[in-house]
Chain A
Amino acid sequence: MTDSWSTTEMRFRDPARARALAARLAEVVEGAGRKISVMHVCGSHEQAIAKYGLRASFPKQLEVIMGPGCPVCVTDLPEVDEAVALARAGVRIATYGDMLKVPGTSMSLADAQTEGAKVDIVYSVMQAVELAKSTTDEIVFFASGFETTAVATAAVIVQGVPKNFSVLSAHKYIPPVMEIVAEMPGATVEGFLAAGHAATITGSAIFERFAARHHKPVVVAGFEPLDILAGLVALVELVVAGNATAINAYPRCVSRDGNKVAQALLWKVFRATGGRWRGIAHVPSGNLRLRDEYADVDARRRFTIDMQSLWDMAPPALVAQCVCGDIMAGIASPSACNLFGKACTPETPVGACMVSSEGTCRIWHQYGGHPDLVRIGRAV
């Protein structure tokens, strides 16, 4: 095995419990006597699965696919273009580190920065506000992330922000995209592992309605190896039993109704509108945009954003070969991409999935990838 593997060996705090869960998983899948495909909708799940080498412990007949769980990866090209266009027009952009290298139609924010545009990396929206207070420059916070992160943006806006601060929202809302993926033609997914922390905000009840509508079970699971294994056992049991319900296997962070204060803040500031998720589809109600009441802090209304000049430039040819979208829709894996690890690496990413710490390509590249794990056998 490669060196990258030695740093990612499985280290369970409770190996006995891990072994028991893996054995139970194998038993349930074997009992079904057929292939079972489930999807998780969370970049942190994929990180944990790869980091701890969990795939090696999954039964051969079980396929665990990563869905659209990386907020950076689903940020659509025109959204990146808007930020790039503003940056090139002399506006100072503050954004989360993951957004810097995400390719737009013809360039990323990092490329714009190289050309002289001002782009600041922040870890929180409050840092962006601080930046605005320290300068007379117009600061646009290019906001990405799912509901968990959007809530922070909402809270800051409600608190009140300096006059030279505005928000370019690329925030996305997870529940609607699950509807799309569940109905995708050709999708073989029979159940979903939902992301623990986004569900902290929305609550698990939202998935009860989803499960009933699509006749597919959902299990809300945490991020540690044992959480994921336990979540998968519960999910596969439900699939085999044909029981389309939702289970909260992560009660330490998720309640049935979610965080109502956070939900109220979220919907006070944002409205859900339809929009494209990169590579996946148009997702009705999948984009979070500022409500009219907050038009004065909406960068889209404060500035005239000229993206035409970007679109007039020839788009990089390699991007056409990126299959990020298919990966996030659960119908391809990075090994299906000719560029993976060759033309496309974390240093020179071609697609957004190679940029974000939650992108499948980046995760597979970092932790040695999925195919190799099979060779080291059943490690648990």
Chain B
Amino acid sequence: MCLGVPGRVIAVDGMIATVDFWGVKKQVRLDVIDEPVTPGDYVLNHVGYAIRRIPPEDIGETLALYDELLAGKSGADLMADDVRGELAASVTASASPRPAND
């Protein structure tokens, strides 16, 4: 539950970013990130929220770990399952309209 997943920002609309996770577009909230985010940036996402803009020079290494994790079989690999759970958290964000008092 603490792993977080990296993704590339495609578009930003107020507090919601459209993020590309391994070719799949999903939406995450930007309420808790501490830097301005623009398309092309990579962000670390946790339970539907971007929590950190990943410095550009570190992206290669960060993505490689997750590439390998996602290759793991479902049900056989706890880390792979946690990563899938994180992705599922972002799927929901995309299905959600904006919260009431936004």
Contact = CB atoms under 8 A, between A and B. Distances in A.
Interface residues of B, number: 45
22 contacts: A13-B68, A43-B2, A44-B2, A44-B82, A123-B47, A123-B89, A124-B89, A127-B48, A127-B89, A130-B92, A130-B96, A144-B1, A148-B51, A151-B49, A152-B32, A198-B2, A223-B65, A223-B79, A253-B4, A261-B31, A265-B32, A356-B1
Interface residues of A, number: 58
B81 to A, nearest CB: 6
Nearest to A154: B32
Contacts of A97: 85
A234 interface: no
Interface string B43-84: 010111101101100100110110010000100111101100
A217 B2 CA distance: 23
B99 interface: yes
B3 A151 contact: no
Contacts of A5: none
Interface in A229-282: 251-253, 259-262, 265
Contacts, number: 161
A329 interface: no
A358 B47 CA distance: 16
Contacts of B92: 122-124, 126-127, 130
B47 A152 contact: yes
A202 to B, nearest CB: 12
B2 A151 contact: no
B12 to A, nearest CB: 16
Interface string A132-167: 000000000000111011011001101111100000
Nearest to A144: B1
Q: For chain A, what secondary structure do more than half of its interface residues adopt (helix, strand, loop), or is it mixed? A: helix
B86 to A, nearest CB: 8
Contacts of B49: 151-152, 155
Contacts of B101: 159-160
Interface string B1-43: 1111000000000000000000000000101111000000000
A71 interface: yes
A366 B80 CA distance: 13
